[in-house]
Chains A and B, each alone.
Chain A
Amino acid sequence: MVAQYSAIQTRQLTKVYPGFWKSQQVLALWQLNLQVLQGEIFGLLGPNGSGKTTTIKLLLGLINPTAGDALVMGQRAGDQNTRRRIGYLPEESYLYRFLNARQTLDFYARLFNMNRAQRRRAVDYYLDFVGLEPAVRGRRIGTYSKGQTRRVALAQALLNNPDLIIMDEPTSGLDPVGMLEIKGMIGRLKQAGKTVLLSSHQLADVEDVCDRLVILYRGQVELGGALADLLERREVFQLEARAVSPELQEKLIAVARGNGAQDIRTGRPRVRLEDLFKRLVDAKRQAEQPHV
């Protein structure tokens, strides 16, 4: 068994945003203790204002903690060498609107000291990876749709092939297909051994991809642990089968009732609307593609 190291570790991490006077101070985070292991997808959950984005900014060194400390990849948060191994997808796509996708990625690649050939390779690869249509790559980002901008933002986060990817609301502004694609990408990143810290208030996103999570409320951890453990209802048993006749159903219910089972419910499972939507759009897209 391979030992897992902490990709992120925080100790008593606290952030108070100063106000003009003491009464206007805002407590954003209070004594957060967090540990994210290498190779896992970790979810930060919470309603608006619970401290998710503040935690991420502290981990990136964009803001300074009021108390406590944070280690990222074993180094102090905000260390320049550590940032070489981090990719960050901000909550909204904060990109230069006057640049096109290629120029944007080229700029961020330069910040990683990539040479010209490396930059060209990385830009093309990650634009393909995030699925940005080649036709729009030369257009200014200011003219992009929200989904296209989000894809460029995701590409810039992956550009340096980071070991740790921090995603703040990765699916915000995306259509359901885009959401599914992003979730698929996160899955692929996990397969490639990357650590992903995911912050979201879209519970479905977290549920689909995360291994572990914490739920923050007003800057404090309310609940945390492995997703499977947290969501599993140990007292309930569910059976799913095809070609079950009404008679067999009656028999199964009778057997269960006879053996002391309580609150028995039966019914037909439903597909998720997200899956139905994706299936429909995929079929349409396939039909639109020219036949060779």
Chain B
Amino acid sequence: MPHASLSYVPVIADVLIGLLVLAFALLAFRDVARLRTGFSRAWAVGRITLAEAWNARIWAVPLLWFLICLILTFALVRSYGPGGEVRVDLTIFLRAQEILLLVYLGVLACLALPRERERRTLITTGSKPITRLELLLGKVMGLSAAALLMILVMMGATWGFMKVVDARIRHDAWVLYHLQKKNYDKMVRHLPPQAGLLYLARHGVLRAQNNITGRLRIAGYINYAVNPPIRALKGGSAETLYFEFPSLPATLRAPPLFVFHFGVRSFGKRRGPARIHVTLVQRSNPMNTEEKSLTLNAQGSAVWQPKKRFAFFSYVNPMTGRIYNPGPVVVKVASMTAGDYLFIANGRKPQDASCLAWNMDRTRTPGHTNFVAPKPDPIITGFKSNGKQEVVGPSYRHPGIPPEVASFEFRHLKRRQIPINKNGDFTVHLLVGVDKQMNEALPAKAQLLAYDVDNPQGRQRQVLRIDDKHITVVKLPASLLDGSSLVINLSSMIPGHWLKITPASVAIVRPPSPFILNLAKSELVVLCEVTLLIVIGVTAGTCLGWPVALLTTMVCYILGNIVAFVGKLSRQGGFGLLNYVQENRLKGVWYYQIGSLISAVMVKMLNMLVHLLPDFTRFDPLYFIVRSVNMPWTVAATDVFWTLACVLPTLALGYLLLRKQELA
């Protein structure tokens, strides 16, 4: 049976969009040429639209928004700490702004042309030398200008509010620091005043950091003796190794044979052969699993052939009878023997990977590769608490067992982008939490190993004192930046001390950008999103009455927000994704076949629709700003270009609909 796919759907969607733009280019060239003098006419219509929006009391929206935000802020914000408070405030202010603008301007956009038609003002305007394209552009320009004005007002209000919050936080930090200092001086307090409070009082919390963060990976142990260093999975711990197979051939007639091969080293007294626990998980349906415990032989190898075939490797769509690939599968491996460390092949060559899926299908195509390799560089996760990764220090009970390692890899660093001081050092900030299960009185200490991947032998070692949730500043020599990637490994040195780590726990410091600029970039993303919705609304209003236009725009927005789900639904065989299985006894029944056909057509239409509609999930104004991270210009520019790329075909469609329409 041939492997079915819907890969032609995006092609058809692209062709349709291309034809639309082509038709626009052919039919509108005269009107486009007239735009040289026509922008002033379009802007005249835009001014009227703006005036109409003003008359519709658009000015009340920012007031309403501010009131809602104040209520939500006072109702929701608890003592999350200074950073958390700002994060929650920003989320409330920006999200409320986005929702209000989308709703209000979406409605105005849908009303723009239908209301003119109802009031018949379009007759008077249409009798003047204005083209339909100018009329359409004017409506979009006017509403976009209204959006811009409101966004500017709201941005000013957000900035003002955040400055007030920041000032209060700084003042509180200043007062607390001086109280601590006074008590310390009077010997009432044993600990010195917290330096972090002074930093907070001086710099506040409104930041737009440009720090570079790396890719976090965990390892039970790292062997630096080889080049490149290899990682090991710690036995008897929460560490789990993930091999991801993006695509196993759907035409397999038998489940593949998974072959595992690890280098085994024991740091303690071995009690028997090394054992692993293997779990097979379907990425699109994590509830669909099969697991097995395996014993590694003396060479550290084991094989396993799962029983389930259709659940993981192929899926027959009951509607079409075609075979689909249900998507990526993940093989999770945990080492069950305490003290045993399983070294993982670095997978530079596919056949060297520690897990391979061998094709057991006897009818396989001759000449094709017999195995499928997983994605290189498999992930290890360790113990997690509250969403944070934790790595444990050495053990008193098993003195030979090394501490776990959190490894941060910084790829493609450009030396000129990183500030280097006169001593030839660059700065790294560590923000690590500490969970002391033992040795509570001892200060937390961590070992930092930094090296350039091209030269792991020239690694730099530093022992650092870690304050819980406070930044530790580390200076490292700039020579580490010469290679292709920099690796910084961090491990706890005190037994019973766990280091709580996030991907942002180790960051190379770069000068921050102004907060107001970061806020402006977030507002730009909101403007792009709102403008796109305005264009869709105005286009829908060219040929529909306002209630239907509003409904259409809403559907576009909702579908645009679930594009990924709908795309997956159709790619992976319709309802099969939802574990829907056809009953065999119904296969031949005519009404069932008709129903299946209708379902299949609907799934295809949905797929086509999501390829034609803009993806609104691209617009996320909050992602960077709530993390106090500066939004890169490339992200903002990509959003602007994406918006333009969606606006142009939509406007073309609007023009083609309006071109020959009777205005009276």
Residues of A within 8 A of B (CB): 57, 60-64, 80-81, 83-84, 86, 88, 90, 92, 94-96, 98-99, 103, 107-108, 110-113, 153, 156
Within the complex, the shortest CB–CB distance from A54 to chain B, in Å, comes to: 9
Give the residue name and chain of the B residue nearest to A110 (CB): B44
- Contact partner of B120 among A94, A110, A112, A156, CB < 8 A? A94
Which B residues are in CB contact (< 8 Å) with A60?
126-127
Most buried by A among B120, B121, B123, B663: B123
Contact A84 B129 (CB under 8 A): yes
Instruction: Give the residues in chain B near A98, CB-CB below 8 Å.
Output: 51-52, 55
Contact: B121 with A108, CB < 8 Å?
no
Which residue on A lies nearest to B663, using beta carbons? A62
State whether A107 touches B47 (Cβ < 8 A). Answer: yes
Q: Which of A60, A80, A84, A113 has the most chain B CB atoms closer than 10 A to its own CB?
A: A80
A-B contact pairs, 24 of them (CB 8 A): A57-B664, A61-B126, A62-B664, A63-B662, A63-B663, A64-B662, A80-B34, A80-B131, A81-B129, A83-B127, A86-B127, A90-B120, A90-B124, A94-B119, A94-B120, A98-B55, A99-B51, A103-B51, A110-B41, A111-B44, A111-B129, A112-B128, A113-B37, A153-B124
Closest residue of B by beta carbon distance from A159: B128
Instruction: Give Cα A80–Cα B131 distance, bound, in whole angstroms.
Output: 7
Q: How far is the CA of A276 from the CA of B47 in the complex (A)?
A: 46
Q: Which B residues, 646 to 664, have Cβ-Cβ distances below 8 Å to chain A?
A: 660, 662-664
Knowing A80-B34, A107-B44 are in contact, say whether A63-B129 is a contact too (CB < 8 A): no
Question: Considering the chains assembled together, what is the distance between the CA atoms of A96 and B37 in angstroms?
Answer: 24
Contact check, A83 vs B52: say whether CB atoms are below 8 A apart: no
Q: Name the CB-closest residue of A to B131.
A: A80
Answer yes or no: B61 CB below 8 A from chain A CBs.
no
A57 to B51: give the CA distance in the assembly, Å.
28
Q: In the assembly, what is the distance between CA of A283 and CA of B664, in Å? A: 43
A sample of 18 more A-B contacts (CB under 8 A), given A62-B664, A111-B41, is A57-B664, A60-B126, A60-B127, A62-B127, A63-B662, A64-B662, A80-B34, A80-B129, A92-B120, A95-B124, A98-B52, A108-B128, A110-B40, A111-B125, A111-B129, A112-B129, A153-B124, A156-B124
- B21 part of interface (Cβ distance < 8 Å): no
* Residue in A64, A81, A88 whose CB lies within 8 Å of B660: A64
In the complex, chain B residues 12-70 whose Cβ is within 8 Å of any chain A Cβ: 34, 37, 40-41, 43-44, 47-48, 51-52, 55
Cross-chain contact B121 with A96 (CB below 8 angstroms): yes
Inter-chain CA distance A86–B128, complex, in Å, is 8
Give the number of residues in B that approach A within 8 Å (Cβ atoms): 28
Q: Which 7 A-B pairs have the closest CB atoms?
A: A110-B44, A98-B55, A88-B127, A62-B664, A111-B128, A94-B120, A63-B662
B130 contacts partner chain A, Cβ-Cβ < 8 Å = yes
A113 adjacent to B40 (CB under 8 Å): yes
Chain B residues contacting A111 (CB-CB under 8 Å) are 41, 44, 125, 128-130
Residue-wise, chain B 118-151 has the 8 Å CB interface mask toward A (1 for contact) of 0111111111111100000000000000000000
A111 CA / B40 CA spacing, docked (Å): 8
User: In the complex, which residues of chain A have a beta carbon less than 8 angstroms from the beta carbon of B664?
Assistant: 57, 62-63
Q: Which residues of chain B have C-beta atoms less than 8 A from A95's C-beta?
A: 121, 124
Question: Which residues of B lie under 8 Å from residue A112 when comparing CB positions?
Answer: 128-129
> B124's closest neighbor in chain A, by CB?
A94
For the complex formed, measure the closest distance between the CB of A98 and the CB atoms of chain B, giving whole angstroms. Answer: 4
A109 nearest in chain B by CB position: B44
CB neighbours of A153 from chain B (8 A): 124
B51: chain A residues at CB < 8 Å are: 96, 98-99, 103
Contacts of B129 in A (CB 8 A): 80-81, 83-84, 111-112
Contacts of B131 in A (CB 8 A): 80
**Residue on A nearest B664 in the bound complex, by CB:** A62
Identify which of B48, B51, B124, B125 gathers the most chain A CB atoms within 10 Å of its CB: B124
Q: Which residue of B lies closest to A86 (CB)?
A: B127
Complex interface: chain B residues within 8 A of A96 (CB): 48, 51-52, 121
Q: Give Cα A113 to B131, complex, Å.
A: 13
Closest B residue to A106 by beta carbon equals B44
Residue from the set A64, A90, A94 with the largest chain B CB neighbour count within 10 Å: A94
Residues of A within 8 Å of B48, CB to CB, are 96, 99, 107
Question: How distant is B146 from chain A, measured CB to nearest CB, in Å?
Answer: 14
B52 to chain A: closest CB distance in Å? 6
**Closest chain A CB from B127 CB (angstroms):** 4
Which residues of B in the span 605-664 have a Cβ within 8 Å of any Cβ on A?
Answer: 660, 662-664
Q: Which B residues lie within 8 Å of A113 (CB)?
A: 37, 40-41
Q: Nearest residue in A to B120 (C-beta to C-beta)?
A: A94
The residue in B119, B131, B660 that gathers the most chain A C-beta atoms within 10 A of its C-beta is B119
Which residues in B have their C-beta under 8 angstroms from that of A61? Answer: 126
Give A83 to B131 CA distance when docked, in angstroms.
11
Contacts of A81 in B (CB 8 A): 129
Residue of B nearest to A63 (CB): B662
B128: which A residues are within 8 A, CB to CB? 83, 108, 111-112
B residues in contact with A99, CB < 8 Å: 48, 51
**Is B121 a contact of A94 with CB atoms below 8 Å?**
yes
B315-335: CB near A (< 8 Å → 1, else 0) gives: 000000000000000000000
Say how far B342's CB is from chain A's closest CB, in angstroms.
75
What residues of chain A lie closer than 8 Å to B123, measured between beta carbons? 57, 62, 90, 94
Chain A residue contacts of B662, Cβ below 8 A: 62-64
Which residues of A lie under 8 Å from residue B47 when comparing CB positions? 107, 110
Please report the C-alpha to C-alpha distance between residue A81 and residue B126 in the assembled complex, in whole angstroms.
13
In the assembled complex, the Cα of A90 lies from the Cα of B121 at a distance in Å of 10
**Once the chains bind, are B120 and A62 in contact (CB under 8 Å)?**
no
A156 CA / B128 CA spacing, docked (Å) = 10
Residues of A within 8 A of B122 (CB): 94
Residues of B within 8 A of A110 (CB): 40-41, 43-44, 47
A156 to chain B: which residues have CB within 8 Å? 124
Chain A residues with CB below 8 A from B660, complex form: 64
Contacts of A92 in B (CB 8 A): 120
Query: How close is A69's CB to chain B, nearest CB, in angstroms?
Result: 15
Task: Please give the distance in Å from B162's CB to the nearest CB on chain A.
Answer: 36
CA distance A81 to B131 in the complex (A): 10
Q: Which of chain A's residues have a CB closer than 8 A to the CB of B52?
A: 96, 98
CA distance A45 to B128 in the complex (A): 25
**B34 — which chain A residues lie within 8 A by C-beta?**
80
Q: Give the one of A88, A99, A110, A156 with max B CB within 10 A.
A: A110
CB distance from A57 to the nearest CB of B (A): 5
- Least CB distance from A276 to B in Å reads 35
**Complex Cα–Cα for A95 and B133 (A):** 21
A193 nearest CB across to chain B (Å):
21
- Report A229 CB to chain B, min CB distance, Å: 32
Give the distance in Å from the alpha carbon of A26 to the alpha carbon of B124 in the complex. 24
Query: Which residues from A are CB-within-8-Å of B44?
Result: 107, 110-111
Which chain B residue shows the least CB distance to A166? B127
User: How far, in Å, is B180 (CB) from chain A's closest CB?
Assistant: 61
Residue in A closest to B134 when the chains form the complex, CB atoms: A111
0/1 interface trace, chain B 485-502, chain A, CB 8 Å (1 if under): 000000000000000000
**Which residue in chain B gives the minimum CB-CB distance to A83?**
B129
User: Chain A nearest CB: distance from B457 CB in Å?
Assistant: 74
CB-based nearest B residue for A92? B120
Complex: chain B residue closest to A115, CB-CB = B40
A60 to B124, CA, bound (A): 10
